Amino acid sequence: MICIIFYVEVETILKDKKIIGDFGLFTTIVVGMVGIGIFSCPKEVIDKVGSDAWIVTLMGGIVIFLLLYLIYMVVKKNDFQEFSNILQINFGKLLGGIFAIAFAIYSIFIVSLGMREFVEVIRLFLLRQTPSEFILITTILTGTYLVRGEIGDLVKFNEISFWIMFIPVFVVFILIAVNADFTNMLPILNNEPANYFKASRYILFCFGGIEIAYLILPYVKNKKNSLRVLRKSIMFVSFFYIVVMILVLAVFSKTQSKILLWPTISMIRSLYIPGTFIERWEGIVMALWILFYFTTFVNTYFFSSEIIKNVFKLKDIKLSSLLIMPFIYVIALYPENIAEIYTLQFKTTPVILMAIFLFIILPILILLIGEVKKRKGRGKSLHEI
Amino acid sequence: MKETINDEIQLKAEKNIAYLKELLEDNSDVIFRSFNVGNWKAALVYIDGMADKLLLDHYVLEPLMLYPKGMESVEQIKDNILLVTDLHEVKKLSEGVNAALSGDTLMFIDELDCAYVIATRFWPARGVGDPSGETVIRGAREGFTETVRFNTALIRRRIRDTRLRITPKAIGARSKTDVAIMYIDDIVNKEVLHELQRRIDKINIDAVFDSAYIEQLIEDNKYSPFPQIQSTERPDVVAAALYEGRVALVVDNSPFAIIVPATLPNLFQSPDDYYQRWMHSSMVRLIRMLSIIISLTAPALYVAITSFHTAIIPTKLAYAIAASREGVPFPAFVEAIMMELFLALLMEAVVRLPRPIGATIGIVGGLIIGQSAVSAGIVSPIMIIIVAITAITTFVTPNYEVTAAFRLVRFLLIIASAIVGLYGIVIGLILLLIHLVRMKSFGIPYLAPAVDTNIKDLKDMYIRAPISKLKERPKYMKTGDKIRQK
């Protein structure tokens, strides 16, 4: 009897699971993508291509949109099912499960490295004497509190965070732009083509986080509109990154941007508004940045927990989030220093290969298999006739 | 807990009376009156002090005892002789007893297998008075009273619609408190209504004294400091909520009606927002929002800045704060907690005391102790300013329960900021946001319409658009009838 009641409840949950509106989709993609990368990205990109950084960012945006389009196609061709289901339908139970777990591990790996960078930034600018472990644990626990909820709660959180994050940041940007020297953006297109490719690697990592679309798309209410919304969100993020690149260039010029560890923070630091109550803005902006990283973290965390839950057929996400928690902690504490974080992220071949496999090869494979199956199915039905 | 009453009504009035006398023995206020109606024996049962004796004397006993001539059957008593409007038959004795215990009069007559219930409820009641907890500058000055029927009438006067429903319910196995569930049938969100009825049916308690009991028994999240149900003493607020598709509960013996579902933005609104001009109301709403942020974070920011991030503020100000704190023996955290506790004490004391003494407490507590604490060097003057700002910004919120919830959060934020400064405040605020985002009130998101945003709902949230622009009912309520004006 209890089983039946439980089953009925599950049924009703599945029935009205299409809960996410257009704005929820938009904000989830945006806040999931904009993360800690924004601190270090300008340095690496400007180092490679100088004043053409914003062009590379624009190109990165276009490439990322294509990748997101791939994700959209994969989900759409599979009737908006959940990600691990899609994988298991196309590759079989075992192989699909392995791919799904690989995806979760990769996401957790990247987001944990980001976590370490975040902790270091916080320690440098806000809390010099607090041990990293404390900041780590509090952030992870806070994230767990949200992950233990439903996906609708996550999206609502994203919706509200979006306003809290971007309104003050754009105000700060306008104030910075007043004192910037925009002639620093010249010359344009003055680099070897190879350099653009080198730089694009960093910018693509900066755009990381699009995999959240796999999680969110199955729950979207208005499916016809979602591609348009996805395009809008990529445009928004690209615009945001381009503004950051341009401002960093305009404030520091390319020679200085290369030396700074986190040019974005230094740029905010240079902000001086006479007559205000607050003198050094980086403290306030850092407080805001906690939210920027936190949203990326919590979305990825939710996504990975959901995958683990589905692959191992766990009862609910509370258990899988608990399983992932120690991994985040250990991976985040693994690098010795900030330089090592960057080496792990950008210069380790397995990580790069993994990214290429997961974001380019895997979706194409799924689409191909789907196509083959469809033809087979058609052949069968013809045969039956 | 529940009592079993013999439900059968005997054909002899005397037998019924004998049974009831046994059931209600040793009660000085239960009146039994046996008399003759022509050839039949009859009896009245009522509670002294709750029933209208004059009505019984003149319109029940007088015609029955003086003019029973020419009567052929016992049914004629009801049809030809009794001069009362509100009279109904009950077939079960327990129903009759319940009616008698709530002030009606129970009447038995020989040869009848039912009893008559005559509506004689009458007791000294407080008149409709000023709603002292929710004063407005413009708008009705009527507030609810303790009698459920008066209250439903106050609401009915604002909704002369055939589709208004007032369904009765009795809650409490012993207290049997009357509760009226009110909604407008074609507007109400049916899911909310069914959920409410389900939760009310699940209540199994001996007595409820106030709507607050029911509120706490049916709310979604018991482990949250935030009120998830709106309570009000204003009939116009209830009527407005019914027009928005909500459901109201009016409870006997309580001058507070409760409204479900409630959302946080809802609790920040005052009826005055709609009675004043829209520009003014919009500005007031924005100020309210700002004041909530200030009241939440001001003391925590003070602690964080003085103990961790002195570099953030201008050097001159940092010096000023340091100079004012010179000689203060406590760290900023202790100072802040101390003053906040003092403020909480002061507020609690003023609420509990009679009004003339309350003013004295305000002067002694606020002025004298504040002044002396500074000159004694226990607290810094800046801390006093911060506490004062916090107190004033707190009172801008119209709902006391929300204020109390935010006060609790404020304490937690002070503690967090004492441990890890600004980072603690931000993590604390994120936790608060997650908590609010995860909450629901009867299936409606607690933060609606700030989440699941529909652009049309925002016209009546951060600002209050002109009334001619508010053409639709709130979308997030998922109402039946959606249009307010064409």
* Residue-by-residue pLDDT tens, chain A, 385 positions: 344 444 444 444 444 567 888 888 999 999 988 877 787 788 888 888 877 888 888 988 999 999 999 999 999 888 888 888 888 888 888 899 999 999 899 999 988 988 998 888 888 888 888 888 999 999 999 999 999 988 889 999 999 999 988 988 888 888 888 877 788 777 777 777 788 887 887 888 788 788 888 888 988 888 888 899 999 999 999 999 999 888 888 888 778 777 887 888 888 877 777 666 666 777 777 888 888 889 999 999 999 999 999 898 888 888 999 999 999 999 999 888 888 887 887 777 888 888 888 888 888 988 888 888 888 776 655 554 4
Per-residue pLDDT, B180: 95
Per-residue pLDDT, B413: 95
User: Model confidence at B434, in pLDDT bands (50, 70, 90)?
Assistant: very high
In chain B, residues with a C-beta closer than 8 Å to the C-beta of A16 are none
Q: Which of A156, A271, A277 to mutate to test the interface with B (most CBs of B within 10 A)?
A: A156
The whole-angstrom distance between B426's CA and the closest CA on chain A is 6
In a domain? residue A210: yes
- Whether residue B427 is predicted with pLDDT greater than 90 in this model: the reply is yes
Q: Closest by alpha carbon to A218, among A99, A92, A93, A86?
A: A86
- Whether residue B280 is predicted with pLDDT greater than 90 in this model: the reply is yes
Rounded Cα–Cα distance for residues B471 and B486 (Å): 7
In a domain? residue A383: no
Rounded Cα–Cα distance for residues B475 and B486 (Å): 16
State whether B311 and A283 contact (CB < 8 Å). Answer: yes
In a domain? residue A317: yes
Distances (CA, A) of B283 to A167, B280, B286: 19, 5, 5
In a domain? residue A274: yes
**CA dihedral defined by A263, A269, A271, A275, rounded to 10 degrees?**
180
Q: Is A284 on the interface with B (CB under 8 A)?
A: yes
Rounded Cα–Cα distance for residues B282 and A285 (Å): 29
A122 and A132 Cβ atoms separated by less than 8 Å: no
A129, with CB counted inside 10 A (0-12, 13-18, 19+), is exposed
pLDDT digits (tens, 9 = 90+) for A311-360: 988 888 889 999 999 999 999 998 888 888 878 877 778 888 888 888 88
In a domain? residue A380: no
The region that residue A50 occupies, defined by phi over 0 for left and psi between -120 and 50 for alpha, beta otherwise, is: left
B40 and B61 Cβ atoms separated by less than 8 Å: no
CATH code at position A217: 1.10.4160.10
The whole-angstrom distance between B319's CA and the closest CA on chain A is 14
In chain A, residues with a C-beta closer than 8 Å to the C-beta of B420 are 127, 130, 134-135, 138
State whether A159 and B453 contact (CB < 8 Å). Answer: yes
> How much is the average pLDDT of B208-237?
93
Across the interface, of A126, A138, A159, the residue whose CB is closest to B451 is A159
> How much is the average pLDDT of B259-281?
91
In chain B, residues with a C-beta closer than 8 Å to the C-beta of A284 are 312, 422
> How much is the average pLDDT of B73-89?
85
Rounded Cα–Cα distance for residues B146 and B150 (Å): 8
Q: Is A24 on the interface with B (CB under 8 A)?
A: yes
Q: Closest by alpha carbon to B96, among B188, B10, B214, B197?
A: B10
Beta strands across the sheet bearing B257-260: B164-171, B177-184, B247-251, B257-260, B230-232
- Whether residue B166 is predicted with pLDDT greater than 50 in this model: the reply is yes
pLDDT digits (tens, 9 = 90+) for B364-405: 877 888 888 888 888 888 888 999 899 899 888 888 889 889
In chain A, residues with a C-beta closer than 8 Å to the C-beta of B309 are 126, 283
The whole-angstrom distance between A88's CA and the closest CA on chain B is 31
Percent of chain B topping pLDDT 90: 48
Distances (CA, A) of B91 to A171, B177, B382: 74, 22, 73
DSSP B365: I
B326, with CB counted inside 10 A (0-12, 13-18, 19+), is exposed
Nearest chain A alpha carbon to B439: A153
Full DSSP string of A68-96: HHHHHHHHHHTTT--HHHHHHHHH-HHHH
- Looking at the structure of chain A, the number of domains it has is 1
Residue B165: count other Cβ atoms within 10 Å of its Cβ.
16
In a domain? residue A373: no
In chain B, residues with a C-beta closer than 8 Å to the C-beta of A229 are none
User: Model confidence at B153, in pLDDT bands (50, 70, 90)?
Assistant: very high
Per-residue pLDDT, A348: 79
B44 and B67 Cβ atoms separated by less than 8 Å: no
pLDDT digits (tens, 9 = 90+) for B284-312: 999 999 999 999 999 999 999 888 888 77
The whole-angstrom distance between B411's CA and the closest CA on chain A is 18
Interface of B with A (CB under 8 A): 308-309, 311-315, 317, 420-423, 425-427, 430-431, 433-435, 437-438, 445, 447, 450-453
B258 and B215 Cβ atoms separated by less than 8 Å: yes
What is the CB-side half-sphere exposure of residue B89 using CA atoms within 13 A? 10
Percent of chain B topping pLDDT 70: 99
The per-residue pLDDT of chain B, averaged, comes to 89
Q: Indicate the residue type of B317.
A: L
A61 and A41 Cβ atoms separated by less than 8 Å: no
Q: Is A135 on the interface with B (CB under 8 A)?
A: yes
pLDDT digits (tens, 9 = 90+) for B437-471: 999 999 899 998 888 767 788 888 888 999 998 88
Q: Which of A23, A128, A138 to mutate to test the interface with B (most CBs of B within 10 A)?
A: A138
B354-389 burial, b at 16+ Cβ within 10 Å, e below that, comes to: eeeeeeebeeebbeebbeebbeeebbbbbbbebbeb
Q: Which of A18, A135, A153 to mutate to test the interface with B (most CBs of B within 10 A)?
A: A153
> How much is the average pLDDT of B3-29?
87
pLDDT digits (tens, 9 = 90+) for B44-63: 999 999 999 999 999 999 88
Per-residue pLDDT, A356: 86
- Whether residue B193 is predicted with pLDDT greater than 90 in this model: the reply is yes
In a domain? residue A116: yes
Residue B483: count other Cβ atoms within 10 Å of its Cβ.
9
State whether B445 and A21 contact (CB < 8 Å). Answer: no
The whole-angstrom distance between A183's CA and the closest CA on chain B is 31
Beta strands across the sheet bearing B40-47: B30-37, B40-47, B105-109, B115-118, B87-90
Rounded Cα–Cα distance for residues B77 and B64 (Å): 8
Rounded Cα–Cα distance for residues B388 and B365 (Å): 13
pLDDT digits (tens, 9 = 90+) for B248-258: 999 999 999 99
In chain A, residues with a C-beta closer than 8 Å to the C-beta of B312 are 278-280, 283-284
In a domain? residue A139: yes
- Whether residue B246 is predicted with pLDDT greater than 70 in this model: the reply is yes
Instruction: Quote the domain boundaries for residue A66.
Output: 20-360
State whether A159 and B430 contact (CB < 8 Å). Answer: no
